[in-house]
C-alpha cells in the first residue's frame, strides 16, 4: 500500500507566491506595453500635427504674398522669387513625413497627408508658370492640383480620425 504524501504547507505557499509574482509581472509587462504603444501613437500624432501646422503657416504666408502680387503690390520678379522659395520650403517638409513612425493603423493617413503635400507642390509649380507666362492653362492646372491636394488632405483627416477611433 502506498503512503499518501502529506502536502507541505511551505511548498504550497511558495507555489502560490511564485504564481502571484508571475501574474503581477505579466500585468506590469502588459501595462507597460500598452503605455508604450499609447505614447508612440501620441508622439506620432503630435509630430504629424506639427508638420501640418508648419505647412499651413507657410501656405498662409504665401497666400498673403500672392494676394499682394494680384493687387499689384509686388512685381513679377519678386513673386517668382517668393514662389521659388516657397516651393523649396514645402519640398523640405517632405522628409519630415518620411521620418515619422506611425502606428500601423495610421499608415494610410500618413501616406495621404504626404500625397497632399506633393500635389500641393505640383500646384505651386504650375502657379509659378502662370506668374511667369500669364498662361491660363497653367493657372487652371494649378487650381485643379490645389483642389486635388485639398481632397487628399480631407481623405487623410478622415482616415486619421477612423484609425484614432478604432484605437481608443
Span 60-77, pLDDT tens digits:
999 999 999 999 999 999
Residue 121 lies in a domain: yes
What are the grid coordinates assigned to 86, written together?
Answer: 516657397
Residue 17 lies in a domain: no
**SS3 category, 73:** coil
What does the mean pLDDT of the chain come to? 87
Residue 8 lies in a domain: no
Query: Do 74 and 82 meet the contact criterion of CB atoms below 8 Å apart?
Result: yes
What pLDDT, in 10s, does the model give residues 134-155? Answer: 999 999 999 999 999 999 999 9
The CATH number of the domain where 146 resides is what?
1.20.120
Residue 66 lies in a domain: yes
Instruction: Kindly provide the b/e burial profile for residues 103-129, where b requires at least 16 CB atoms within 10 angstroms of the residue's own CB.
Output: beebebbbebbbbbbbbbbbbbbbbbb
What pLDDT, in 10s, does the model give residues 22-61? Answer: 676 676 656 655 555 566 678 888 999 999 999 999 999 9
Number of independent structural domains in the chain = 1
Residue 111 lies in a domain: yes
Residues whose CB falls within 8 Å of the CB of residue 47, separated by 6 or more in sequence, listed in order = 96, 100
**Residue whose entry in the numeric block shows the C-alpha cell 511667369:** 132
Residue 18 lies in a domain: no
Please tell me what DSSP assigns to residue 93: T
Model pTM score: 0.77
Residue 14 lies in a domain: no
Distance CA 154, CA 77 (A): 34
At 116 the pLDDT is 96
Show the domain range for 153: 42-167
Residue 115 lies in a domain: yes
Please, what is the Cα angle at 147 between 155 and 160, to 5 degrees?
15
Instruction: Kindly provide the b/e burial profile for residues 60-95, where b requires at least 16 CB atoms within 10 angstroms of the residue's own CB.
Output: eebeebbeebeeeebeeeebeebbeebbeebeebee
Amino acid at each position: 500500500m502506498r503512503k499518501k504524501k502529506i502536502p507541505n504547507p511551505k511548498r504550497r505557499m511558495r507555489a502560490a507566491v511564485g504564481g502571484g509574482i508571475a501574474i503581477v509581472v505579466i500585468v506590469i509587462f502588459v501595462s507597460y506595453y500598452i503605455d508604450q504603444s499609447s505614447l508612440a501613437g501620441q508622439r506620432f500624432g503630435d509630430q504629424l500635427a506639427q508638420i501640418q501646422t508648419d505647412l499651413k503657416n507657410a501656405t498662409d504666408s504665401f497666400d498673403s504674398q500672392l494676394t499682394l502680387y494680384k493687387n499689384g503690390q509686388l512685381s513679377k520678379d519678386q513673386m517668382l522669387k517668393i514662389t521659388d522659395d516657397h516651393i523649396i520650403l514645402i519640398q523640405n517638409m517632405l522628409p519630415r513625413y518620411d521620418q515619422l513612425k506611425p502606428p500601423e493603423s495610421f499608415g494610410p493617413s500618413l501616406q495621404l497627408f504626404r500625397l497632399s503635400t506633393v500635389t500641393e507642390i505640383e500646384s505651386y509649380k504650375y502657379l509659378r508658370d502662370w506668374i511667369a507666362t500669364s498662361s491660363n492653362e497653367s493657372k487652371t492646372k494649378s487650381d485643379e492640383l490645389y483642389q486635388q491636394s485639398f481632397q487628399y488632405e480631407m481623405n487623410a483627416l478622415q482616415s486619421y480620425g477612423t484609425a484614432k477611433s478604432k484605437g481608443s
